[in-house]
């Protein structure tokens, strides 16, 4: 085995020395990404409205030899954002990576939606991410370095019924990513979007447990299986690391070949 392999991999993909802010850290995907990024050296700053889920996650990361601190944050309360970022910078000295993972969804037909639900979903998925990015970018600008990873969705470019508000919010996240990339490149800040396909979590279990809906989804996934939170980790590490130093303003789909066209018809 080439003795330089580990050295070269570390040079490309190591997150050592990087302070990484993860919103939605207590969720199914956020917790997996937090543990995975900590395992390759990232100092994880775990943010979520769910404080009870953050402390056990931080302890698990520490027991595995990683670094993690907890900062509860409700993105619907935008007045909390700047004080939270200030506290993180005061404790950590800098922020190298922001992962805007926090997101919510409630599926209803357009005719049944109301302004309260619209404001709730948009408030977390788009408005909260927008103003948290703004606050974090001020610190990144001072250091002339940073990577923002916005979490978009399959629904940023394609749609499922009942996801009108969620889809609009995630389409906004894609547009926000491009705006951040072109405005903040001059400050050494990159912005990209990680776009999951159909991922199996506790929240999406009702879809996968329904045989009609599950078949509908699987027929549209070339790999013929739902994604797992772990399937997103490689792209997250790439976008957080120096290996993606010339990547910005893009939407990176991790969807098992769903957008490519799904499973083929029988041939021959």
DSSP 3-state assignment of 226? coil
Alpha-carbon separation of residue 239 from 173, 191, 233, 246, 268 (angstroms): 16, 9, 10, 10, 41
The one catalytic residue in 166, 187, 216, 252 is: 166
Beta strands in 136-230 (DSSP E): 146-151, 189-196
Q: What is the Cα–Cα distance from 77 to 74, expressed in whole angstroms?
A: 6
Residues 6+ apart with CB under 8 A from 228: 199, 200
User: H helices within 14-163, ranges in order?
Assistant: 28-39, 51-63, 81-92, 115-122, 129-143
Q: What are the two backbone dihedrals, phi and then psi, of residue 67, each rounded to the nearest 5 degrees?
A: -115, 135
For residues 27 and 48, the answer to whether their CB atoms sit within 8 Å is yes
Beta strands in the chain (DSSP E): 19-22, 43-46, 67-70, 97-100, 146-151, 189-196, 251-254
How does DSSP classify residue 128? I
Q: Is 193 exposed, middle or buried (0-12, 13-18, 19+ CB in 10 A)?
A: buried
Task: Write out the two tokens for 157.
Answer: 């470019």
Q: Is 130 a catalytic residue?
A: no
Catalytic residues: 166
């Amino acid at each position: 085995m080439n003795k330089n392999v580990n050295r070269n991999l570390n040079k490309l993909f190591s997150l050592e020395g990087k302070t990484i802010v993860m919103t939605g850290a207590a969720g199914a995907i956020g917790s997996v990404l937090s543990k995975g990024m900590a395992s390759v050296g990232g100092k994880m700053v775990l943010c979520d409205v769910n404080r009870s889920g953050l402390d056990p996650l931080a302890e698990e990361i520490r027991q595995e030899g990683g670094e993690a601190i907890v900062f509860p944050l409700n993105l619907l309360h935008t007045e909390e954002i700047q004080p939270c970022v200030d506290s993180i910078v005061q404790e950590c000295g800098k922020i190298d990576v922001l992962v805007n993972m926090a997101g919510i969804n409630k599926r209803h037909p357009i005719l049944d939606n109301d302004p309260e639900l619209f404001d709730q979903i948009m408030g977390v998925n788009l408005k909260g991410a927008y103003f948290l990015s703004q606050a974090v970018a001020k610190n990144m600008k001072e250091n002339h370095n940073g990577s923002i990873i916005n979490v978009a969705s399959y629904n940023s470019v394609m749609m499922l019924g009942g996801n009108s508000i969620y889809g609009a919010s995630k389409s906004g996240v894609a547009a926000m990513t491009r705006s951040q990339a072109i405005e903040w490149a001059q400050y050494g800040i990159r912005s990209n979007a990680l776009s999951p396909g159909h991922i199996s979590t506790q929240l999406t279990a009702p879809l996968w447990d329904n045989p009609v809906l599950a078949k509908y989804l699987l027929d549209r996934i070339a790999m013929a299986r739902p994604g797992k939170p772990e399937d997103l980790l490689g792209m997250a590490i790439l976008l957080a690391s120096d290996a993606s130093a010339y990547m910005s303003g893009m939407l990176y789909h991790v969807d098992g070949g769903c957008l490519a066209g799904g499973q083929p018809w029988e041939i021959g």
